[in-house]
Structure 1
Amino acid sequence: MSAKASSTETDRLLSEEHRFGTFPLLKKERVWSFADFTWVNTSLAIATWAFIVGGSTALMVGFRDGVLAMIIGNAIGLSFMVLAATAASQRYGSEQYTMLRGAFGVVGVGVLVFTIVLITEMGWSSLLAVMAGRAASQITGEVTGAELSQYGPLVTVGALVAIGLAWFILSRGPITIGRLNAIVAPGLALIVAGMMIFLVMNTSWDALNSAAPIAPFEDDTLNFMIAVEFNIGVGVSWFPIMGSLARMAKSRRAALWPSFLGLFLATVLAQTVGLAAALTLGESDPTVWMVPFGGPLLGIGILAFIAFANITSMSSIVYSTVLAIRQSSGQALAKVPWKGLSALFFILPAIMTFFPQFMYEQFMLFVTYSGAFLTAVCGVALADYFILRRQRMNLRELHLGQQGTLYAYKGGVNIAGLASVAVGAVLYVFLYDPVSLETNAAFSYVTASIPTVLIAAISYLVLSKVLYGRRTSKEAAPKVSAS
């Protein structure tokens, strides 16, 4: 092989490793501008699940209180999620689970990835696939004139096709995902605005404002705070994927603001439509009511577009998760091709598509419980990066892991990090039990998430001091970043 051919092959392998592996990205390799990353986040936010969030909020509160709860909840959740997930990854160009080695250790990160993160992202992927399947089933019923069940076998078939398409897009890498989102996101924003107009035209603004919540408690304050807490969980639920996406952004500004504003504005807009539909029509999922309102041609076109948006959202979610799996598995999965590893991820979501009704019925419980653990993880990540290490990380040592010195812990586990996540999650359930919906008196004033993120952060700082002393002082040397 000639020297030129060898150099070309080396460049290709390095490019593959940057896109599908865990190598940090150089500044010249970060391809997403402010606008690019805004479209990525907008497309992520306006998937069908956002309408279901609005419908779940309608269980507790009416329209005005619901919109306020969604604004407050998403703003709180996104505020600490964005800082915890994107700041370090964008600065150093490395995916977020490598950046978390200081807080949890190499093995500790693996524990998080193969429990909390994997379960959470498989759940979201399953839900997105089922929603795409419901859209496909609704389109088929409209075209053929057949009466099809909203949880029937055609939903599963459509969901499996959606998973196949998501896997194909995923195999093309983050650049392809970004390009598709730049097309999908503006269309979704227009469609959601049109949906809101359809709802008001086919009901009335007065009917919307006067609609009662579906299944509230007697205490109005408690209803409102549960709705806020649920939406905080929605905002925090982006944590597992945002850091690995943000490393593709060209600057900190292009990472932080699109992460917050893109997710916040698009999420609240779509959730508002779902809230309004649930209160006035009794059904938040647009796959059910879009065709009757929009007419056959327009309704089918919109449903097809929404289904495709679910597929691109799934691709973005799984890209970050598969990167995390590869990084956390050590040598076990290092040599598995990207296409094969991403296909393995989709096995459980594919199985879950055979139980579409279960996915819908357990949605609120799933979001709240995953939010409890992810909120605690955010608290630890914030304390580690911003307070303990003062935004100074040694990139070489991070990638050395247990072979280095700064981020090597006994057994590969930073006990302070994992213990603090457990402490935070226990406090969350003490304040608010998502299963029984029982709450502590303090919940009505401070929610469960805010104390959880604070106590997880404080616990981590105290335990780090007790268990590891001043070992982080070794990082006072000039920081090493990808450039």
Structure 2
Amino acid sequence: MLTDYNLSDLINMAPPGAVMPFGVAVTMVAGGFMVGAIITPDMSRFNRNIKDVFWMTFLSLFLGELIVNTLGVLMAHAVGSPDVVSIMLTLGGWLSASLVIFATIKINDMNLYGASLGTSNFLDTAFGIKMSRSTITLVIGVLGTLGSVLGILDRFVGFLTLLGVALPPVGGVIIVDYFILKRFRKELDISRAQNKLPDYVENINPIALVSWICAFLVGYFIQWGIPAVNSLFTAAILYWVGNVIFASAAKK
């Protein structure tokens, strides 16, 4: 597709559009990685062993994120457009454009799976509502399609930026909870050995919820540094401090 273009010129050329602030760009990229790390268990839950999970993640990261994204940037520079379908039509014709469409269907299938699974678990855990997963999947699919028709992709950059500060705090809470505080570690180890979910889970964790809200606000409103990293560490620190204070108060 790029045989008619000079590779060196494409790499060194200035962006055809408005220059994006460095912090925003890093938040979009780093936030995307963090989002992937958080939802990876949804995709790898049926893998046979840790080795399969490692290779799935490793190959997806280097082939999908680095190589494919680099080619996408070069192609966007060559055409001077951010629209994926226009890029593929210009460089490869309808065959290339159809590949993008079918690839999007597969990606959205995975997104729909993760969203429906998370929504189902949230309704069950937080409110005790057991709703059919097929119904949840249908509703989310309709809402996603409606959003696409209404032009939600016009705000795609803003959406990625929002995800980049909203989801990393979840990872910060999970890391501190499992690896540092080790809450419910024994129950999780026992249930994992029995290949089932724990018999008891918290309906709601107020400290985690407050930590997430505060971290999101920090990442969204404070533009110093990298917002995604700021929100991640803010959530981790607040969650650790909150649990230490709560544990100390409970002993008195």
Give the TM-score taking structure 2 as reference length: 0.83
1:285 aligns with one of 66, 83, 94: 83
1:310 aligns with one of 94, 104, 114: 104
Q: Displacement of 1:370 after TM fit? A: 1.3
1:274–1:285 Cα contact (<8 Å) kept: no
CA-to-aligned-CA distance 1:242-300 (integer Å, 9 cap, x gap): 21222111112321342244134312222222222332321133421323433xxxx32
2:52 aligns with one of 209, 232, 254: 254
Partner of 1:366: 159
Alignment of 1:168-207 (within 5 A): 198-199=1-2, 201-207=3-9
CA-to-aligned-CA distance 1:123-171 (integer Å, 9 cap, x gap): xxxxxxxxxxxxxxxxxxxxxxxxxxxxxxxxxxxxxxxxxxxxxxxxx
1:211–1:280 Cα contact (<8 Å) kept: no
Q: Structure 2 vs 1, CA of residues 327 and 351 (structure 1 numbering), >3 Å: closer, same or farther?
A: same
Give the TM-score taking structure 1 as reference length: 0.45
1:460 aligns with one of 226, 239, 243: 239
CA root-mean-square deviation = 2.7
Partner of 2:130: 333
Higher Cα Rg, which structure: 1
1:287–1:303 Cα contact (<8 Å) kept: yes
Letter of the structure 2 residue corresponding to residue 464 of structure 1 = N
Query: Does residue 209 of the first structure (1) align with residue 11 of the second (2)?
Result: yes
1:416–1:463 Cα contact (<8 Å) kept: yes
Percent identity, please: 24
2:76–2:87 Cα contact (<8 Å) kept: no
Q: Structure 2 vs 1, CA of residues 454 and 286 (structure 1 numbering), >3 Å: closer, same or farther?
A: closer
The count of aligned residue pairs is 240
Distance 1:425 1:463 in 2: 16
Query: Does residue 422 of the first structure (1) align with residue 213 of the second (2)?
Result: yes
2:11–2:74 Cα contact (<8 Å) kept: no
Q: Structure 2 vs 1, CA of residues 451 and 292 (structure 1 numbering), >3 Å: closer, same or farther?
A: closer
Distance 2:149 2:216 in 1: 31
**Residue ranges of structure 1 left out of the alignment (5+ in a row):** 1-197, 218-222, 402-406, 433-439, 472-483
Distance 1:252 1:391 in 2: 21
2:185 aligns to what SS in structure 1? coil
Query: Does residue 233 of the first structure (1) align with residue 35 of the second (2)?
Result: no
Q: Displacement of 1:318 after TM fit? A: 1.5
Distance 1:374 1:272 in 2: 24
Q: Displacement of 1:345 after TM fit? A: 1.7
Q: Displacement of 1:366 after TM fit? A: 0.4
Letter of the structure 1 residue corresponding to residue 67 of structure 2 = L
Alignment of 1:26-425 (within 5 A): 198-199=1-2, 201-213=3-15, 214-216=17-19, 223-239=21-37, 241-294=39-92, 299-330=93-124, 331-334=128-131, 336=132, 338-356=133-151, 359-389=152-182, 392-395=185-188, 399-401=198-200, 407-408=201-202, 412-425=203-216
**Residue ranges of structure 2 left out of the alignment (5+ in a row):** none
Q: Displacement of 1:376 after TM fit? A: 0.8
1:241–1:317 Cα contact (<8 Å) kept: no
